[in-house]
Structure 1
Amino acid sequence: MRSASAFLLGIALASQAIPTAAWEEFSDANLFYRSVSLFDDRPADCPPCFNCQLDSYNCTHSAPCNKYNGKCSCPAGFGGDDCSVPTCGSLADGENRPPRTGATCDCKDGWGGVNCNVCQKDSACDAMMPEGQDGVCYKSGATVKQNFQMCDVTNRKILDQLGKQKPQVTFSCKAEDHSCNFQFWVDQKESFYCGLDTCEWGLETGFETNTTSYRCENVQCKCVPGRFLCGQDGSIDLGDFLDQVIKGPATFQTIADEKGSRSVFSEPEMNGLISAVFGDPSISLSCDAGECLYKTDLPGYQRPIKKINTPLIASVIAGCALLLSLSSWLYGIYLGGPQTVAICACPCRTTLMMILRGYLPNTALHLFTGTVCHII
């Protein structure tokens, strides 16, 4: 114990002897690396810990690197140190989603998609609402805040070449920074992914069709090494092509009518690749979109106007008028003056003129029915 204390004391004294200028040469990252290396006594067969601040480790899906823990801050639906592992459960689970351990995800009730990001019914969204209710699963495909889409590839030639393997696409956009992302999957294994920025979108409604259109100016794509189209045994490796050639702009358009929806993802260089490899002009898709919104956030929502009880108001007005007339009549009787009140169901001109000229008794209450005037 005494020797350990002396060792720590020596370190403290040595640190005080180092000039301030020398300390400034150390960045936060350098100190972090040195602190890690002090404990880097792992066995020879144990790989080094993941640290995205090092050049040899990268975050997938354009995820930012957290400089405090050396981990990647993953987008919704992905997890793991480098964000390469699909997550399951549901989007409502937030950061507590389990990583996928099998070939597919077993999504919670009301959720679907490769990584359980797409809502299927309104009740599934309640857990994401401030008060735990009034959530709406908005299915139009036009992004309001953050939209998710799960798509099946429908190109006949692509399907024929892949045989029993199922090609799919996930597509998501975020309104906060006008960004989108695109992933291509085969049998729920990700082949490549693209990050898109400077995006705009809109929804055009017609009498028989609705058209949702996205356009992103810049595209950056990456291969997942060892996957289909990216070096897997028996397939070509498009890694360099995706990384260096595909730059944008890209469009994603969906046309929906009573027969269903049809989508197309298009980028000039990717279209050329699809045409050269599969013989189709672009990627054709059939998509299922979902976005959880609070009911007042729905496009076109108008706060309901409070219903007016018209019969009640009319009754109150009529009652007040009758009470006022009766009060005036009684007041005229009390004074015995010239006040005369006529309550008429139908005016009688002759009698009315007599009332106005004072020919009839001062206390007369005239009730008119049709054209006949009755005097009480």
Structure 2
Amino acid sequence: MTKTWNFGAGPAVMPKSVLIKAQKELVDYKGTGMSVMELSHRSKEFDDIINTAEANLRKLMNIPSNYKVLFLQGGATTQFSSVFLNLVGDDLSRPCDYMVSGGWSDKAAAEAKKLGANVNYVFNTKSEGFTRIPPKSEWKLSPNASYLYFCDNETVHGVEFQEVPEVNCPIVCDMSSNILSRPVDVSKFDLIMAGAQKNIGPAGLTIVIIKEDLIGTRLNPKVPCPILLNYKTHANNRSLYNTPPTFGIYMAGLVFEWLLSIGGVEAISAINSRKAQRLYSTINKFSNTYKAVVAEDCRSRMNVPFRVIDASGKPSKELEAEFLKGAVARHMVQLKGHRSVGGIRASIYNAMSEEGVEYLCRYMEEFARQKAKL
């Protein structure tokens, strides 16, 4: 079988050892004669799966005991609504602070606004193409916000926060594309959410880590919260109020085991730093061919967008098409940038090996040298 290097932003590459184990257990899970996909979510076997997955995630992230871990459906996009409905509080006139650093935080703010939130933009870099995180001197924080929302790593635009904002209100963070990629102090956040299809497992599972004292205490009686968007529903039922994404939880559990086996988040963080440094250094070295689009102080280690430029230094769609064609010929796929921004984007999540990044960088070097001869 030809090795394919998947640089897709999600659904993303999975650890090979995880896929092999899942393959072995697919038809008969631990002697049950059934696939995990056939197990009842009320069965002892699945109870063990979800409990072990939660225990291992708590170990990996050092999640404090006063936080609940919820395994949900609907992707992080559904959480745009859930966050507002669960955290707005009694006074709808109180602002909800949003830091808009990319496409996903922009969508989150728009969804909250549609539901009736008094959205305050702490900053919004849309007019600049989402290429930087403004300095704190430019932030416009509300003194009495219901909560602060930000996306730790913008998958489309490749902007990543390097520190947690310090504010006097609950902090909500979308970590969909960088969860488990580096150590974080969970106690600095009040709610963390993450779609699984990047660093955790297959699409269809969403993880929410929420401080217990926020659950069911800030609902607004004038804004009905649907039962499946209410965190209290899931917390009170151990994520089993209705049928959860059982196979996704099983796969996430295998990924957590894999991470623990290689040394945990600290170990993968060191690997991720080397991968990102290798790729960005290649972009910088061949600056007559490639151009990074994000300010250096907030470049993502997970999603690396860049442009292929012509002799005048401008992005060239023709050269980018040629670059992508050559990549596919070398079995590197899903390197095309998001449809909203174009260009090239290499997503180098936890499961993308250093070997894969090295293979990409060598191709980039080869392409740049060929271009220089033209």
Q: Could you state the TM-score of these two structures normalised by the residue count of structure 2?
A: 0.25
Q: Answer 1 or 2: which has greater helix percent.
A: 2
Larger RCO, structure (CA 8 Å, separation 6 or more): 2
Q: Would you tell me which structure has more strand in proportion to its own residues?
A: 1
Give the greater-gyration-radius structure (CA): 1
